[in-house]
Amino acid sequence: QKEVEQNSGPLSVPEGAIASLNCTYSDRVSQSFFWYRQYSGKSPELIMSIYSNGDKEDGRFTAQLNKASQYVSLLIRDSQPSDSATYLCAVNTRAQGGSQGNLIFGKGTKLSVKP
């Protein structure tokens, strides 16, 4: 069973702080990793994708991938109250015997940024 694990939180950080969200995955052949933000009652919104080891920065967001440790993280710098949402880690794994992959989601980490 391919799994994606996240701490459910809530993770509470003060405004302006760095929020660190973590995710581990079980399928060693996973190739693509995504972070989605989901506000309450809304649909998931893609905020970061990462495919190779190391860091990828986009504005206040940095995704980090370590395939050897099967670990992916998301850092949010200068956190704002508007960042308060559930952050879903998603891993795209290769289906057995095929080239196509399916997105497997973690349960999400609820982030609360306090003014």
Partner 1 sequence: DTEVTQTPKHLVMGMTNKKSLKCEQHMGHRAMYWYKQKAKKPPELMFVYSYEKLSINESVPSRFSPECPNSSLLNLHLHALQPEDSALYLCASSQDLGTGYKCTFGSGTRLTVV
Binding residues for partner 1 (CB under 8 A): 30-32, 34, 36, 41-46, 49, 51, 88, 90, 92-94, 99-103, 105-108
β-pair partners for 85? 111
Find the shortest distance in angstroms from Cβ 96 to partner 1.
12
DSSP letters, 14-35, are ETTSPEEEEEEES-TT--EEEE
**Which of residues 17 and 92 has its CB atom nearest to partner 1 in the complex?**
92
Find the shortest distance in angstroms from Cβ 97 to partner 1.
13
Total residues found in the chain within this entry: 115
Instruction: Output b/e per residue, 58-93; b: 16+ Cβ within 10 A.
Output: eeebbbbbebeebebbbbbeebeeebbbbbbbbbbb
Q: Which amino acid makes up residue 102?
A: N
Nearest to 85 by CA among 33, 115, 25, 42: 42
Find the shortest distance in angstroms from Cβ 72 to partner 1.
14
**Which of residues 53 and 102 has its CB atom nearest to partner 1 in the complex?**
102
**Which of residues 96 and 115 has its CB atom nearest to partner 1 in the complex?**
96
**Which of residues 76 and 88 has its CB atom nearest to partner 1 in the complex?**
88
Find the shortest distance in angstroms from Cβ 114 to partner 1.
21
